A and B are shown apart, each in its own frame.
Chain A
Amino acid sequence: MTIWLHILAIALLASLGGALWRVWRGPSQADRMMAAQLIGTGGVAVLMVLAALQDWTLLAVAFALATLAALAAVGFVKSESPDGAGDPEEAPPATELRGTVQDRTRNG
């Protein structure tokens, strides 16, 4: 069991390497943020596995990392939005949307 859990932790870390590639390439800031989120969730998973291997108190570290990853994403969104509010519910410049987003259909 310990061997498998070690392999698992290494494989999870390797998959996070792919996310790092996306951070490097971008192209958009949002892409980089998504990759950072993936590293957050992946880190939580690695910590869970390590908790089973070594010490269950590592679960508290995993909890803190999950919280911080969520807050980091919120911080990013706030810094990206023009007025610093980052609220997806606020009234936007709606007219520009039709031009940039293609094949947008109206139904539901």
Chain B
Amino acid sequence: MHRALLLGGAWLTLTGAEALVLGVLVTGLSVWLSLRLLPAKHPLALWRLAQHLPRFLAGSVSGGVDVARRAFSSDMRLNPGWLEISSDLPDGARVALGGELSLMPGTLSAGSEDGKLLVHVLDTSAGFDSAIPREVEDIAAIIGQTPKVRP
């Protein structure tokens, strides 16, 4: 189970290698609790998640650079506006998409309304929205789906 790997890894990092028996117990307990609170609905493809990581890191670096350039430039070139994104993603995945978009350049999610994700963009003329369909595809691939984006 993926959760056991993740939580066990976190335990090892936090405590070092001394408390292994207790670690196995605690990991088992926390996996049970996490499944109890949030039953697994979609098969999470961990390797696809790892595949997505470089693009995510690159995106958050360029997001930071973009926002830093705007913060230091004299006129900031801001032209904020709102978008609504509808997609076939199930609820949980849409939340993940919102969180992810919040770290990508120029976009920031504000939850969803009527199944449409509300996205705030820093500069409506800079074409930040063109990157969104790609993110939707990636999130869908991570939970093993192939949805289409409806503009």
Contacts and interface: CB of A to CB of B under 8 A. Distances in A.
A and B directly contacting (CB within 8 A)? yes
Contacts of A83: none
Interface of A: 60, 63, 87-89, 91-92, 94, 97, 101, 103-108
B95 interface: yes
> Most chain-B Cβ atoms within 10 A of its Cβ — which of A89, A92, A107, A108?
A108
B81 A108 contact: no
Given A108-B129, A108-B151, A103 B110 contact: no
A92 B95 CA distance: 16
Contacts, number: 45
Given A63-B14, A105-B124, 9 more contacts: A89-B91, A89-B111, A89-B112, A94-B113, A97-B113, A104-B81, A105-B83, A107-B151, A108-B133
Contacts of B94: 89
A88 B124 contact: no
The main secondary structure of chain A at its interface with chain B is loop
A30 to B, nearest CB: 11
B85 A88 contact: no
B84 interface: yes
Nearest to A63: B14
Given A108-B132, A108-B149, A103 B111 contact: no
B114 A94 contact: yes
B82 A105 contact: yes
